[in-house]
Chains A and B, each alone.
Chain A
Amino acid sequence: MSKITNILMVGVGGQGIILASDIISLAAMLDQNDVKKSEIHGMSQRGGSVFSHIRFGEKVHSPLIPHKKADILISLEEMETLRWLQYTNTDTKIIYAKTQIKPSADSIYPEGIETAIKKEFETVYTVHTNEIKEKTGNAKFFNVVLLGLISNFIDIQDKPWHDALNKEVPEGTYDANLNAFNIGKDLA
């Protein structure tokens, strides 16, 4: 069976994971792949942990990634990266936002996450929202910057990426989003 690319995108409800994973899925389809993606709507979205499984290749069966099979784990929140390690292996590329969102006002944010992740995995990118904001001029495009970054590690051509962006982002924002995507591409 030909190789399936598995991307697990995680974070906290409200961070725009559904839109970002829609863009990846559409780009993969436009690049002639079979695609499946799975996520959860409803109660868990109310500030809870959220995830989206994206899988593409010649033929995909399960919309869920089997354990240890993720090629890329992309997390929009620092500690959320650690909640999904059962899907990773030591070759999994870890991309995560250095954003910290406390589950509740009185919870203590765990320390030492970056060091621990870098010890376990070969390829780790940490992305700071402030740095991205300086480059794009707007924090809004953060997720698209991350998409640009992961585009370096997966086999999807530029044109399908651009077409998917054009279709999924709000009208009139394509140029700004494309710019953000290209900035992300240069991060690797």
Chain B
Amino acid sequence: MMTKQVLLSGNEAIARGAYEAGAKVGTGYPGTPSTEILENLSKYDGVNCEWSVNEKVALEVGFGSCLAGQRTIVTMKHVGLNVAADPLFTSSYIGVKGGLVIIVADDPDMHSSQNEQDSRHYARASQIPMLEPSNSQEAKNFVKLAFELSEKYDTPVFIRSVTRISHSKTIVDLCDPIKNPIKVGFKRNIMKYVMIPAFARIRHKEVLKRMAKLELDCNTFSINKKTITDKKIGIITSGIIYEYVKEVLPDVSILKLGIVYPLPMDLIRKFCESIDTVYITEEVDPFIETEIKAKGITNLIGKDKFPLFGELSPDIIYNTVMNVQEKDLISIDIEIPKRPPKLCPGCPHHQIFNVLNRLGLTVTGDIGCYTLGVLPPYSAMDTCLDMGASVTVSQGIELAEGKDFKNNTVAVIGDSTFAHSGITGLINAVYNKRHSLVIVLDNSTTAMTGMQPNPLSGETINGDTTYAIDYQKLAEAVGVKTEQIRIINAYKEEIMEDTVKELLATKELAFMVIKGPCVLLKRKRAKQKRGKA
């Protein structure tokens, strides 16, 4: 068989790995840096993918698919894993039928995220093994291995990526896909699949047994690589950091971990015994370091020297291990202004921020392009916590202020985010008799992550037409009064301002949708049209 070499991003390689492993189902919710995995997987013949409403739904749908025997991949960014945490922990008890691989893409340094949480903690907390590739070739190979491990050890398996894996391109050898080795079709297995306490107690013991076996077995996994060249300095590392180490310290001894949970402790112990000083190089939290220290190994240098925040880089690693200061960098003494991201020129949704700023309202914000409304010239956002929190944080402000609440709080949320987890907040507002204004900025797409369709845009991941939620009916159905609902055009700034004032003056819960398609989406559609012609 002739192998073909191509340049693939980590995300493209993960998609390719799932395809080559015979996975026929992929689910997920868009989130930088994970988005392109599912976009690419959906283009392979015979693979059924969906953008799910949110990550919890994605994992549950993916879990159902794996119980029906399909090899299944579920993708999300690190903060999405918080949303999916509920099914995650119990899926660990139930295990799998077809392999289930969960891809989580972390974003150290927060290039496009609200925090830089370290997903490795989820592997330990949920007792699910986690592999970490160093480049696109490994990303593809590890996905295939993850499916095998998933079926062999009866567990979901994590692949952890980071921005520098997901969005770096490296050369990959392509292989032909294999057939899913599992017979497809759901078959009843009540004691394994139904987690009532009596059965869950049994399953938890199974989890402990499986992890004990994995802890032993992983010492001989070939994805862990030990190279002893120097007895003085050794480095334990994984993922992208391995490549940085090889770049700047090619001659030191290295233990490269392909599996980061559970850790191959025998291998680690032997490595540490043969080296004087062992550096643990890992981004953000001291995850590997803490695990190793807990085993009584002490000749380690880790977060006492390396930063607990942000990305590492070849330079940080070299300077820290060699204990040198960086010097002689070229600098030119001209002050250059910062260039923060901003709403695109022509974005239909910038007017509302002018209005909110002018009216001096408290604005609870959400996750998406419109979070940029916090920056000048708008400076019209007061909070941003997580997906859906605009709708709910404003309710908390009202609850706390009680009689003194002036009804001057506005929640601002995008269409995809509203479908993801804003609707539950709106129901909460009606149910608990809150009074503030909720504004959905509808641009017909999930724009920040690169224009993915969503339940409000009337299109599936494959471009098929589907039902688009009717805002009016939805709001009425959950109990917002008909006269308190407005759907208006994004280009009518005056009407917008009058409507905000009018709705706030009613001092009752109000729901306003501002519609204006994303300018980039319009351009993308025009391009597709030209391409077809």
Contacts and interface: CB of A to CB of B under 8 A. Distances in A.
A144 B201 CA distance: 63
Interface string A114-133: 00110010000000000000
B340 A103 contact: yes
Contact of A36 (B111, B169, B329): B169
Contacts of B531: 171
Given A63-B164, A64-B244, A79-B336, A85 B329 contact: yes
B38 to A, nearest CB: 14
Contacts of A35: 7, 169-171
Nearest to A108: B337
Given A36-B168, A67-B315, A120 B332 contact: yes
Nearest to B450: A41
Interface string B428-459: 00000000000000000000111000000000
Contact of B343 (A25, A46, A68, A82): A46
A67 to B, nearest CB: 5
Interface residues of A, number: 54
A110 B336 contact: yes
Interface size bracket, B side? 35 or more
A175 B344 CA distance: 32
For the residues of B in contact with A, the DSSP-based class is loop
Nearest to A116: B332
A88 interface: yes
B390 interface: no
Query: In the complex, which of the residues A39, A43, A116 has the most CB atoms of chain B within 10 Å of its own CB atom?
Result: A43
Nearest to B369: A46
A116 B334 contact: yes
A63 B5 CA distance: 18
Interface in B296-355: 313-315, 318, 326, 328-345
Contact of B171 (A34, A68, A120): A34
A41 B448 CA distance: 9
Nearest to A109: B337
Nearest to B311: A64
Given A25-B7, A66-B248, A66-B314, A42 B342 contact: no
A86 B341 contact: no
A47 B169 contact: no
A42 B448 contact: yes
B127 interface: no
B285 interface: no
B449 A42 contact: yes
Contacts of B372: 43, 46
A46 B170 contact: no
B42 interface: no
A13 interface: yes
Contacts of A48: 339-342
Contacts of B313: 64, 66
B318 A63 contact: no
Contacts of A67: 315, 326, 329
Contacts of B244: 61-62, 64
B32 A43 contact: yes
B167 A41 contact: yes
A147 to B, nearest CB: 16
Contacts of A12: 339
A98 to B, nearest CB: 16
Given A29-B5, A29-B7, A46-B369, A41 B32 contact: yes
A83 B313 CA distance: 17
Contacts of A112: 334
Contacts of B171: 29, 34-35
Query: In the complex, which of the residues B167, B330, B339 has the most CB atoms of chain A within 10 Å of its own CB atom?
Result: B339
Given A47-B345, A63-B164, 4 more contacts: A64-B314, A82-B334, A85-B330, A86-B329
9 contacts: A25-B169, A40-B167, A42-B448, A43-B111, A61-B244, A62-B243, A63-B164, A85-B331, A112-B334
Interface of B: 5, 7, 32-33, 35-36, 111-112, 135, 163-164, 167-171, 240, 243-244, 246-248, 250, 313-315, 318, 326, 328-345, 369, 372, 376-377, 448-450, 531
